[in-house]
Structure 1
């Protein structure tokens, strides 16, 4: 356990450790694209999160889909996937990297409420730091402020 209250482990976030209800959180883009990075590991285990995300995006005129939004998808009796829209577009280019820290912060705030309702721990890769191009030094304080600072157990998984 680090001073942040986050537990760092080697492993795969799609096979979360521990007992009780669990939420696996990850960052999605705002374009409706699902096909690279951590989402592939999610889709190898469960089909529902991708289908729900694509439907959420397709029907976005009538829902809350957009930066900062959270979609909870139950995949097992005690496991949910948290699709968090925290990435604008998919490519690093003239406008910089796709990650949007404010959107991740907003989504984590919503996630904290849902995790508390469920009595769930939260499991994640280093969200926003893969294809989204973010830096963990900027994401970690958001996770601390929104989750571990409110007593929600968080485990971060590093492949290795």
Structure 2
């Protein structure tokens, strides 16, 4: 029993009452154009604009692996952009996912979720284009969020 609720559906339309925090993983190159981010952008322009500005102005902020940015998109809905992958392609250094960066980002998500009194909603972060495995990501979510009493719902599109 992981303490994570799994549902079929769209993580950009979270099924819960109260404040909801939608979490996803971004790359460290400032690229936003494939995967789950497209669903986010179709629904709200804010997270993409904030991410691109965050990357563009990175010399003066905390942008980098393990960082998390929180963007309010509706009165009770926030999106967390976690920088959890190095680059966008699988190459000589392996897949883009960086588990330690996802872990650090989830720690920031836990703090913000507790502050907001929010439930957390996400696709299987780090497991699509980033090339990660759920067997490595799920324990990070359990340790960082579920162990702190934060409700987590993972959405499988379909």
- TM-score bin, normalised by smaller chain: over 0.9
Supply the distance in 2 between the matched residues of 1:45 and 1:18 (Cα, whole angstroms): 18
What secondary structure sits across from 1:114 in the alignment? helix
**Which residue number in structure 1 is paired with residue 132 of structure 2?**
134
Residue pairs, 1:14-25, within 5 angstroms: 14-25=12-23
**Which residue number in structure 2 is paired with residue 75 of structure 1?**
73
1:158 deviates by: 0.1
**Which residue number in structure 1 is paired with residue 28 of structure 2?**
30
**Which residue number in structure 1 is paired with residue 142 of structure 2?**
144
Supply the distance in 2 between the matched residues of 1:24 and 1:159 (Cα, whole angstroms): 15
Q: TM-score, normalised by structure 2?
A: 1.00
Residue pairs, 1:51-70, within 5 angstroms: 51-70=49-68
Supply the distance in 2 between the matched residues of 1:64 and 1:149 (Cα, whole angstroms): 26
1:56 deviates by: 0.1
How many residues align structurally?
Answer: 158
What secondary structure sits across from 2:115 in the alignment? helix
1:18 deviates by: 1.1
- TM-superposition CA deviations, 1:3-34 (whole Å, max 9, x none): 11000000000000010000000000000000
- TM-superposition CA deviations, 1:42-73 (whole Å, max 9, x none): 00000000000000000000000000000000
Supply the distance in 2 between the matched residues of 1:154 and 1:141 (Cα, whole angstroms): 12
Runs (5+) with no aligned partner, structure 1: none
1:157 deviates by: 0.1
**Which residue number in structure 1 is paired with residue 152 of structure 2?**
154
Output the aligned Cα RMSD.
0.3
Runs (5+) with no aligned partner, structure 2: none
Supply the distance in 2 between the matched residues of 1:148 and 1:124 (Cα, whole angstroms): 14
